[in-house]
Amino acid sequence: MKNINKVLDILEEIYPDAKCELDYTTPFELLVATILSAQCTDVRVNKVTGDMFKKYNTPKDFANLSIEEIEEEIKSCGLYKSKAEKIKSTSEKIFNEYNGKVPDNLEDLTKLPGVGRKTANVVLSNAFNQDAMAVDTHVFRVSNRIGIVNTQTPEKTEFALMDAIPKKRWSHSHHLLIFHGRRICKARKPECGICPITKYCKYYKNNFDKVHS
């Protein structure tokens, strides 16, 4: 896509409040919240962590909990059993191997149990203010649908977006694409009739321009 900066400029105008919608006060809280956010809404995660972080909010706290105790706290999030195991193991590793501090680099973050590139990049960009491209389902769908990239996997999408988008815009463009994916460019039925970037969109050209021409 030649007009990527123009597209991002338009999305910035439409979503001036685009930012991470998970509630957190420390890198560790964001890490836990991001693990919980898999196949779960941010609203639900914030409800769960709002109560849980008042009681437990450090790697040591969670390392000292049993998996069953963590499960009880996060039960209303999907996949809570596997998430509880990941949170427990990750907390133990951070406490024992990183002096209780969340690593601030991709290599060490992705060594943590249950922390893939997406989760690591969310933490790096939001908690540590680093330029990073986190690719979740919205970013993967929207960036391929509108034609910024043409890739088959989230990891390939991450690297393609890093090539296509100026580095200083990586972190914010992630939020812009998520907001657009949640509000207009929805998974099952994109609302092309109210979309401000149709003139640049591959999906729109392929599906609607032919009808109108």
Q: Of the candidates 151, 149, 184, which has an alpha carbon nearest to the alpha carbon of residue 163?
A: 149
Q: Who's near 7: CB < 8 A, 6+ residues apart?
A: 1, 146, 148, 197, 200
* Eight-state DSSP code of residue 110: T
Angle, helices 154-164 vs 117-126, to 10°: value is: 40
* Catalytic residue of the set 86, 88, 93, 136: 136
Q: Which of 86, 88, 93, 118 is catalytic?
A: 118
Phi-psi region of 138 (alpha: psi -120 to 50; beta: other; left: phi over 0): alpha
The answer for 99, left when phi > 0, alpha when psi is -120 to 50, beta otherwise, is left
136 is catalytic: yes
Residue 2 appears among annotated catalytic residues: no
Q: Is 100 exposed, middle or buried (0-12, 13-18, 19+ CB in 10 A)?
A: middle
The residues carrying an active-site annotation are 118, 136
